[in-house]
Structure 1
Amino acid sequence: MGNVRAAATANLSEASTSASASASWLPVRPRRVVVQRGSQPSSINWDRWELIVYARLEAAEKEGSGSGADEESQGQGGAAAAASTSASACAPSSAASSPSSFSGHLATSDLTAAYFRRWDDPAAHQPALQDRLLTSAWREALAPGSLEGKTVLDVGCGLGMLSLMAAKAGAARVIAVDGSAGACDSARRIVRANGLEDRITVVHGAVESLRELPGLAGGQKVDVVLSGWMGAGLLAGGMINGVAHAVKTWLKPGGMVLPDRVSLWAAALEDRDALLEAKESWSRVAGFDMSAALAQAIKHPRRDVLTRKSQLLSAPQRLAEWRTADLAPDTVLDAATGAYARCPIQLTAVREERLFGLVMWWDAMWTLGGALEGEGKSPVRFTNHPLSSASHYQQLMLDFPKSVRLAADDVVGGELVLRPGSTDPRDLEISLEVVAAGTGIAGSYRISHLPTA
């Protein structure tokens, strides 16, 4: 299995003049902000006062004592004291590698802690909470009575929405776990506000680090593990490993994992509108031609949506599928390659057109352990397919370094690899090597795990 990061340099010579698709890598003009400045007393010449303060500090340093300057500064409303503090703060540090230095902070930084702190802000959860397509799928899957009497573990509970749904679906006990202290605090408040504190217990901590769960003793395990672990490009965020740990450690044999299955898909993409708009945007920035940056800009995948059905140049191909009940920490990554998945690609062009890259999306299914299928009912399904209803996940656009003219029935063949990020394992890196119309194309892309609105 694998992870991928992309290189792209677009051939725009055949791009059309229509430009309507928005791209996340376009330069954004900052909003103009009015800065209000407090009026200064007209009786003080602040520029002259600053010179006097520094002259006194310099004289005090030469005498080996700064007490005189400090006392006088305090008598002038603290202005000199502030100047003294500023002067000392600007002095270069002689211990650049000490723990208190910036480089020291970098050396001891914890990417996992930083990841969880990002979720302390409730606003980071809003895109998912306000995604009607996603919440409707969960609500349909966790219908009243569907979890009657069961013990449920919610992995990465966030603000607790899925835990609330599980309790309303009849769960006797819900253990909600999240590594974000801020999210857990909000979740506890939300649980109390909804009168469900007798059935939902919120636990702060990464699920991989927990040695026991409240309410479980004597080797007890849960009936259900549920999690909204899916991220950009499906795997960005690295939460699949936490779900795998929960399944192996806390799920009883034959228990359910929700959603049951997830699949990653791709199709060939015509992307001339977005690339033309990007070229025009970068060609005029503050009166300068910045178009030389475009080659680097399109090396980064973007979350976007199709503006025309005709942008799909092939039938979709399922790249990989995960059955979540079969997840295990030692098999999330392939032991030999360190990849989530290695995915053969074979996409057939449906018409003559210029190929610009790939569009990727994913879907998830809830079968409640297969019960719905056994009853002859259709499972609940969520997808962010390009032609489906809009979701905050959108699609992932991977533009190739160069575009290629395809004839009808031409095959785009090769391999795509998904891996954890090389610098931050919660990122997703995608690498690909394909051949299209006799032209070899290689690229690597990185998808950030950071949530975006």
Structure 2
Amino acid sequence: MSNRILQGASTGGSSSNDAAASAAFNARRQSTISQAYTQSEYSESEFGEQDNGWDDWEDEEGMAACDPQCLFCAQTFPSAREVFDHCTHTHGFDFLRARQQFDLDFYQSIRLINYLRQQAQEVENFAETTCWEGLKDGEEAFLADDEYLRPVLEDDSLLFAFEDLDLEEGTADEAMLMMTPQGEVPKRRMTRSSWEDVVPTTDLERLLLKQVQQAEEKLFAMEVQHHNLEQQFQEYRARVKESFFDTLEDATARSVVSQSGRSRAGGEGEKEKREKEMDRVRTEGYRDYIYENKDIFKGKTVLDVGCGTGILSMFAAKAGAARVLSVDNSDIIEKARKNIVENGFQDVITLFRGKIEEIKLPCKVDIIISEWMGYFLLYEAMLDSVLVARDRFLVPGGILAPSQTRILLTTTSDESFLDDSIHYWNDVYGFRMSTMKENVLREAVVDFVSPETIVTNTVTIKDLPHQSITVAGLDFVSEFDLEMQRDDHVSAFVGYFDTWFTRDGKDVPLEVGISKEELKEHQMNGFTTGPVYTRSEETHWKQTMFVLEKAIVLKKGDHIKGTFYCNKNHMNPRALDLRVVYEVVRVEKTEEERPEDKADLTFFLR
């Protein structure tokens, strides 16, 4: 997945090499930044000149450095040196020797680490490698592929540790080559020629001289490294404050609506409040359905797939379920167990740890509840597992909650996404870097869209009735026809999903929407993840943007007709490969051909 906040941090440099250096230097923080900081979480004072203690970030939850992990398997070690020794002796690949042998620079080394990380995730039995020979001449394509400048493994300490090992083993000549961006190095205490004037006369003097020389060389190398890192960090901090935080403020401005009381957040604890607000729509959606339909749950057997903390299971138990079977395959189930005992539901709720595809349950169930949805509904979603649970354990006529979801497509005129994601590379400190657009263009952007920027109607591109849909049916191809509602331009397609809970589990007719009035009329519950006017209605799923390289200027009544393709990635079924093929049909015909009026675009969510 590409979150635009994450892009702001990782692409804010002045070149692809700067971006890589920033990614390596900040590897432990990158994923946490994207998860922990949303658009409306800062006051201006938080980024003032007084905020010089960036080292405080190390104390934040989850920021502590993790033990480095093997490049081939899941084993971890206390130090990077031990990791590389393990790789050499167990997997037959000496990283440090290969780096020296093929004269790999810093960025090629980063690519090599991330390439091996990706192989470990995608290649079957890669952890059992005993002699890796994937690096033969130092000219391999992946060593030049900027895709591998992005960290594959969260908190990957190897990305900033291997340079230290090289410096410890390097010579003074190598240290002398470590120039700062301005071409300056710290002044050396004693030059190499000065040592040539010292002539030892005994074995002891020769030994002492050698030790002094080695200590001097090492100290100088460390001084150079410290000087370079300090200057790089200051430059990186300045770039972050210019691009990353400005991006947050821009996003906040878009996310903030004109109503009073919806201002940018700022106080201590606002992040937690914000996250709770975005979870509120989801959690209360389930709670309201269960509590408002207690007659459905009373005396029934309920299955909670992916129970997490157990909140949905406890809702069901409190609503009168006779038995609740709660399944999860992660350590959090132990927390759920304590939560359930603390609230006195241990006689109703039984927990099972394991995969729903493999686990054995004592009986069939009347109702399945699960919070399985991901970004764009299907990214990293658990729906496959829920459908397996349906086929294995749900009684005929049983209910799935939610009962139905629907993926919708519309467009936005908000060109700031285009500016931040694409146009940025047209002028990076006075240089054009068009080649950097290639991967950015393919990344779907997860962020909030202001409803005022929606310029076409909204159409359904995938309807998912949970009672009958199959796993194979989750890949889809859908035609769409979007009509401009006013004279404006289109800078991105926008995708999101709606969710319904029904009393009988039956399909929701396509003409039924998600408004409160319609839900009440049809005795259903539900919520939307689309653009909304109040923060209290926002969800953590946000919206998914498919940004165009060039905005399309259109008139009211013009149409964008096309086909939307959605497929699971063949290497990682939790990821999505997406494709949008479209053509503009204008009310006012013109013989002038416009390149942006027709396109075949590919995107991905990783």
TM exceeding 0.5: yes
Indicate the residue corresponding to 1:435 in structure 2.
583
Summarize the Cα distance change of 1:237–1:105 in structure 2 as closer, same or farther, 3 Å threshold.
closer
Matched, 1:148 2:298: yes
Identify the match of residue 9 of structure 2 among 19, 27, 35.
27
Q: CA deviation at 1:340?
A: 1.8
Indicate the residue corresponding to 2:341 in structure 1.
192
Structure 2 residue identity aligned to 1:25: Q
**Secondary structure, counterpart of 2:302 in structure 1:** strand
Please identify which structure carries the higher strand content. 1
**Secondary structure, counterpart of 2:472 in structure 1:** coil
Structure 1 residue identity aligned to 2:527: F
Q: CA deviation at 1:188?
A: 1.1
Summarize the Cα distance change of 1:376–1:26 in structure 2 as closer, same or farther, 3 Å threshold.
closer
Indicate the residue corresponding to 2:390 in structure 1.
247
Greater relative CO (CA pairs within 8 A, separation 6+): 1
Structure 2 residue identity aligned to 1:27: A
Q: CA deviation at 1:130?
A: 5.7
Q: CA deviation at 1:317?
A: 0.4
Summarize the Cα distance change of 1:282–1:197 in structure 2 as closer, same or farther, 3 Å threshold.
farther
Contact 2:415–2:551 (CA<8 Å) still a contact in 1? no
Distance between the aligned counterparts of 2:366 and 2:605, measured in 1? 33
**Secondary structure, counterpart of 2:579 in structure 1:** strand
Contact 2:451–2:531 (CA<8 Å) still a contact in 1? no
Structure 1 residue identity aligned to 2:392: T
Summarize the Cα distance change of 1:320–1:152 in structure 2 as closer, same or farther, 3 Å threshold.
same
Identify the match of residue 567 of structure 2 among 419, 434, 452.
419
Matched, 1:178 2:336: no
Q: CA deviation at 1:174?
A: 0.7
CA distances 1:243-263 after superposition (whole Å, capped 9, x unpaired): 111111101111111111111
Q: CA deviation at 1:131?
A: 0.9
**Secondary structure, counterpart of 2:439 in structure 1:** helix
Summarize the Cα distance change of 1:226–1:136 in structure 2 as closer, same or farther, 3 Å threshold.
same
Q: CA deviation at 1:269?
A: 2.1
Q: CA deviation at 1:377?
A: 4.8
CA RMSD of aligned residues (A): 4.0
Name the TM-score, length of structure 2 as normaliser: 0.52
Distance between the aligned counterparts of 1:357 and 1:374, measured in 2? 30
Distance between the aligned counterparts of 1:233 and 1:387, measured in 2? 16
**Secondary structure, counterpart of 2:467 in structure 1:** helix
Indicate the residue corresponding to 2:450 in structure 1.
307
Indicate the residue corresponding to 1:237 in structure 2.
380
Runs of 4+ aligned residues of structure 1 deviating over 4 Å after TM superposition are: 21-24, 28-32, 85-92, 101-111, 126-130, 278-292, 370-377
Q: Residues 349-368 of structure 1 correspond to what in structure 2 (within 5 A)? A: 349-368=484-503
Indicate the residue corresponding to 2:458 in structure 1.
316
Indicate the residue corresponding to 2:370 in structure 1.
227
Name the TM-score, length of structure 1 as normaliser: 0.68
Summarize the Cα distance change of 1:105–1:381 in structure 2 as closer, same or farther, 3 Å threshold.
closer
Indicate the residue corresponding to 1:387 in structure 2.
532
Identify the match of residue 333 of structure 1 among 468, 472, 493.
472
Contact 2:365–2:398 (CA<8 Å) still a contact in 1? yes
Q: Residues 13-24 of structure 1 correspond to what in structure 2 (within 5 A)? A: 23-24=5-6
Contact 2:480–2:563 (CA<8 Å) still a contact in 1? yes
Indicate the residue corresponding to 1:50 in structure 2.
none
Q: CA deviation at 1:403?
A: 2.7
CA distances 1:214-253 after superposition (whole Å, capped 9, x unpaired): x42xxxx100011111110001124111111111110111
Summarize the Cα distance change of 1:128–1:244 in structure 2 as closer, same or farther, 3 Å threshold.
farther
Distance between the aligned counterparts of 1:172 and 1:110, measured in 2? 47
Q: CA deviation at 1:443?
A: 1.3
Summarize the Cα distance change of 1:345–1:377 in structure 2 as closer, same or farther, 3 Å threshold.
closer
Deviates more, 1:435-444 or 1:271-280: 271-280
Contact 1:268–1:349 (CA<8 Å) still a contact in 2? no
Contact 2:421–2:440 (CA<8 Å) still a contact in 1? no
Q: CA deviation at 1:410?
A: 1.3
Q: Residues 125-140 of structure 1 correspond to what in structure 2 (within 5 A)? A: 131-140=279-288
Structure 2 residue identity aligned to 1:369: D
**Secondary structure, counterpart of 1:351 in structure 2:** coil
Distance between the aligned counterparts of 1:375 and 1:354, measured in 2? 36
Q: CA deviation at 1:110?
A: 9.8
Q: CA deviation at 1:412?
A: 0.8
Distance between the aligned counterparts of 1:366 and 1:177, measured in 2? 21
Distance between the aligned counterparts of 2:495 and 2:369, measured in 1? 24
Matched, 1:267 2:410: yes
Q: CA deviation at 1:86?
A: 5.3
Distance between the aligned counterparts of 1:297 and 1:303, measured in 2? 13
Identify the match of residue 96 of structure 1 among 87, 91, 96.
91
Matched, 1:160 2:310: yes
Indicate the residue corresponding to 2:143 in structure 1.
none
Distance between the aligned counterparts of 1:229 and 1:391, measured in 2? 14
Distance between the aligned counterparts of 2:478 and 2:528, measured in 1? 20
Contact 2:418–2:549 (CA<8 Å) still a contact in 1? no
Structure 1 residue identity aligned to 2:462: A
Q: CA deviation at 1:332?
A: 2.1
**Secondary structure, counterpart of 1:275 in structure 2:** helix
Contact 1:23–1:278 (CA<8 Å) still a contact in 2? no
Distance between the aligned counterparts of 2:347 and 2:604, measured in 1? 43
**Secondary structure, counterpart of 2:538 in structure 1:** coil
Name structure 1 gaps, 5 residues minimum.
Answer: 7-20, 36-81, 112-117, 449-453
Q: CA deviation at 1:94?
A: 5.8
Distance between the aligned counterparts of 1:244 and 1:397, measured in 2? 28
Summarize the Cα distance change of 1:297–1:86 in structure 2 as closer, same or farther, 3 Å threshold.
closer
**Secondary structure, counterpart of 2:405 in structure 1:** strand
Deviates more, 1:161-170 or 1:140-149: 140-149
Identify the match of residue 378 of structure 1 among 505, 520, 523.
523
Aligned length: 357
Name structure 2 gaps, 5 residues minimum.
Answer: 13-25, 30-52, 57-77, 94-112, 128-153, 155-270, 509-517, 586-592
Summarize the Cα distance change of 1:184–1:314 in structure 2 as closer, same or farther, 3 Å threshold.
same
Q: CA deviation at 1:325?
A: 1.5
Structure 1 residue identity aligned to 2:357: E
